[in-house]
Amino acid sequence: MSETKTNLQIDSARLWRDIHDTAKFGGTPKGGVKRLTLSEEDRQVRDWFRDACEAAGCEVHVDALGTMFAIRKGRDMSKAPVGLGSHLDTQPTGGKFDGMLGTLAALEVVRTLNDAGIETDAPLCIVNWTNEEGSRFAPAMMASASYAGEYTPEDILSRRDAEGVSVAQALKAIGYDGSEPVGQRKFSAFVELHIEQGPLLEAEHKTIGVVDRGQGIVWYNGEIHGFAAHAGTTPMPLRRDALAALSEVVLTVERIAKENGPDAVGTLGETVIENPSRNVIAGDLTFTAEFRSPSSKTLDLLDSEFQKAVGDIAKRRRVEIKLDRFWRKEPSVFDPRLVEAVQKASDTLGYASRRITSGAGHDACNLNAVMPAAMIFVPCKDGVSHNELEDATQADCAAGANVLLHTVLSLAG
């Protein structure tokens, strides 16, 4: 890395301003963001992003799943571009940084190179992956998974949200049903900057997390069918209470995750009772559950223990419990050469760093299956994410963007 390049820094104030400007699309009273994928708010931020990339001299393409690719030309256009970016959708009560930081930092990297008049050998490509969060359509990270060949685009396009709207319909509705075939555009590597969404970096006063692994995930959809009966006249011993059965399932998920800790986590995040009434015993309900671990073996263990425990609860309480393990993502191990490039960029810039496992799923974890991928983490306040209180400092965001800049420069030449 030459002197000039080492001294090259992104514009911290410009990046910070972009983060807060885009937070207005779907901004909530509590200072968070509600921008579900392919919603009207998502359309607004996508339009803003396309305009900004074009203003930075990029050519923007959209694929059949709505993923946006902004190309910055390189000296040698025969070379595959270096990919950098993240996502612009959020959770129902999300924050300003999850996804946004990585996508806007990628834009900032391009702007910085423009300002410095630096042309890279290989082209660069800023990417905004569709539906990373997975809270409107399952599975999460569906676009990058489909790009990596895990699902056919047709399968993904047919997935429906709670209102029965399909991905295809939602894409058309906001005008992002692109023409480019999914997975056609190749990269030499992909680098994603993201907030940690966990407490480690902050606790250890580290600025940069050099991500070398991503946790594996299993997702379940469940149903419990007991018997709806009168709350006043049905003696306790005769009841088949679906909500009481669910309560045991919730506490079982918690117990199994703790027993397989410290890395394993388990969550039962959603449940909906059918036709609830305060004086009717819950008869039927649906729920979702998940487990995560950096070890495939532990995932197997969590899954088998859970399946067995659920069977016992159903038998003892005389209810039917359906458990559909509809998605499993294996733990990812990032490309050592790329992880080393991130480490070197961070060291060169003099930031305190540590190797870290990603607790969350990320598009980079999917892409790692088909190209060298890596991630850069920066601390977030109290490790809080997927919450309107999600927060990070301007200095840490800038540090992450600088590591992204120098990692990309080392890759693109």
Site for a copy of itself in 233-262 (CB under 8 A): 233-238, 241, 243-244, 246-248, 250-251, 254, 257-258, 261-262
Phi, psi for residue 204 in degrees, rounded to 5 = -100, 10
| Ranges within 50-69 binding a copy of itself (CB under 8 A) | none
CB of 254 to a copy of itself, least distance (A): 5
Q: Is residue 386 involved in binding a copy of itself (CB under 8 A)?
A: yes
- In Å, what is the CA distance from 21 to each residue of 49, 96, 133? 11, 10, 21
Residue choice 37, 67, 112, 197 for contact with a copy of itself (CB under 8 A): 197
Q: How far is the CB of 393 from a copy of itself (least distance, A)?
A: 18
Q: Which of residues 284-343 bind a copy of itself (CB under 8 A)?
A: 288-290, 292
Nearer to a copy of itself, 178 or 216 (CB): 216
Q: Per the structure block, which two tokens stand in for 159?
A: 């997935």
What is the pattern of x (binds a copy of itself, CB under 8 A) and - over residues 203-222?
------------x-x-x---
Contacting a copy of itself within 338-367 (CB under 8 A): 359-361
Residue partners of 319: CB distance under 8 A and separation at least 6? 224, 225, 226, 227, 240, 241, 242, 245, 313
Window contacting a copy of itself (CB under 8 A); options: 104-112, 184-192, 377-385, 401-409: 377-385
Name the minimum Å distance from CB 133 to a copy of itself. Answer: 8
Task: Compute how many residues bind a copy of itself; rule: CB under 8 A.
Answer: 71
Which of the residues 69 through 128 are near a copy of itself (CB under 8 A)? 91-93
